[in-house]
Amino acid sequence: MDPAALRESPAGSGAALAEERGGNRAPEEEETGEGREADGESVETDLESKDSKCPDENSLHGKLTEEELDPRIKEELECLNETSEEINKMELELQEVRSSHRRIMSESVLKLKAKSSELGSCIEKARPYYEAQRKAKEAQQETQKAALSFERAVSMHSAAREMVHVAEQGLTVVKTLDPTWQEMLNHATAKVNEAEEERLKSEHEHMRVTQLCQEAEARVQELQKSLKRAIVKSKSYFELKAQFNDILEEHKSRILQLEDRISKAKVNYSSTLRNLEQISEEIHAQRGQDQTMNGPISTCSGRSPPVGAETVSSTGTEGGGYMRPNEWVHGKEGMAISREWVESNPDWVDMGKGAVTRSGSDSLSMVSFRTIKSDLEKYDSVEHLSRLSSFSGEESEKDGKDNKLKNNIDISEEFLKQHIRSVSL
């Protein structure tokens, strides 16, 4: 057996012995080929049985998702879809109304311009009358609003006075001073004062608006008498303008209404999205609590780790199951440490036994063990090598270049003897 081959092969691999016994193993491999195929099938069967016993994680997560599906999610999603459809419809309608408004406005400008060129200067003469008429109409509307506000203030004042009357009657019926009736009386008195103040304010506003309305009507009557001829001549122009104004006002009110509805629908849409986000956060929080209580989902213990996964050995030194180069010691102390390491770490010695046991040869495991021991006992030979190298250095200084070749040959022979001795050990 070549010692160099043993030195080159990795510890416990048994590769060199396998090469030497290649001729003897060839028939065995032919004979055991079918057995290996059968072993492969058995391995696949074992894996399939383990997979059948351990459920798939994805299916398990799917079941958990189906079980934990909150019914609120469906309701919120339906509301979200309905709101989205409503917003789309209203936006389309708003676009149509706006386009119609622009079309009517451009059409009114063209028609009124043509009518103005047809009638001439009478339109400008009669314009103050129609402006005064418009202001009088606005003053009438303001007067109606002020009258309604005044009526509301009067009704509130009368209701507050009725409450005061009831509270006073309750206090007179009860001879002792009841704090409840006293509080009710104070509250009713405050309401009466507020209603009285509001009534006076509404009354003054109504009087002011009524006076403005009367002045506007008087101005209309005065202009009607002075511009009677121009008013009659330009009547068709202002009637056409009033028609277009009514149509445009109707479209404008429709546009404002649609914009208001769209803004409300968008607010509802945003609130629905926030609700969905809140539900999602609650579900994730609940799943986290369940996972902390029940523990994480366990994977199949029979499956091997993925390719490239780093494994940490629990045996040996802190850095792994082998000694670092800086921990090597030469000489007898190194031999003792190496043997102690081999005895305390039998798992590393048995690393090369798997392939050898599969072929049925027990002798290979012993040879692998001897190979490991020879690798670990190399420090003894290194010590002798260092001693011999120092000795060869002294001889080379004395004898010169002629004796250097001879010394090197002697060193090689000595190293070979020491190595064979370590292998025999």
Q: What is the CATH number of the domain that holds 273?
A: 1.20.1270
Please say if the pLDDT value at position 180 is more than 90: no
Residues 6+ apart with CB under 8 A from 289: none
Q: Establish if 157 belongs to a structural domain.
A: yes
224 and 78 in one domain?
Answer: yes
Per-residue confidence (pLDDT) for residue 402, from 0 to 100: 60
**Confidence tier at 317 by pLDDT (50, 70, 90):** very low
Please say if the pLDDT value at position 87 is more than 80: yes
154 and 256 in one domain?
Answer: yes
383 and 258 in one domain?
Answer: no
Burial of 31 (0-12, 13-18, 19+ CB in 10 A): exposed
367 and 243 in one domain?
Answer: no
How many domains does the chain divide into?
A: 2
132 and 242 in one domain?
Answer: yes
| Weakest mean pLDDT among 54-63, 142-151, 278-287, 395-404 | 54-63
**Confidence tier at 308 by pLDDT (50, 70, 90):** very low
339 and 284 in one domain?
Answer: no
The first and second tokens of residue 203, run together, are 């009354």
Per-residue confidence (pLDDT) for residue 244, from 0 to 100: 92
Contact indicator for 383, 415 with CB cutoff of 8 Å: no
The first and second tokens of residue 121, run together, are 């200067």
The first and second tokens of residue 167, run together, are 């509270």
Per-residue confidence (pLDDT) for residue 179, from 0 to 100: 81
Average confidence (pLDDT) over 382-394:
48
Q: Establish if 299 belongs to a structural domain.
A: no
Top pLDDT among 10 and 378 is at 378
Average confidence (pLDDT) over 326-341:
56
Percent with pLDDT over 70 in the chain: 52
Top pLDDT among 140 and 316 is at 140
366: amino acid identity, one letter: M
Per-residue confidence (pLDDT) for residue 292, from 0 to 100: 80
Give the CA distances from residue 71 to residues 273, 283, 356, in Å, rounded to whole numbers and listed in that order: 15, 12, 62
Q: Establish if 415 belongs to a structural domain.
A: yes
Provide the residue range defining the domain that includes 404: 327-425
245 and 170 in one domain?
Answer: yes
Please say if the pLDDT value at position 88 is more than 60: yes
Per-residue confidence (pLDDT) for residue 76, from 0 to 100: 86
Q: Establish if 58 belongs to a structural domain.
A: no
230-235 long-range contacts (CB < 8 A, ≥24 apart) are: 230/122, 230/125, 230/126, 230/129, 231/126, 231/129, 233/119, 233/122, 233/126, 234/119, 234/122, 234/123, 234/125, 234/126
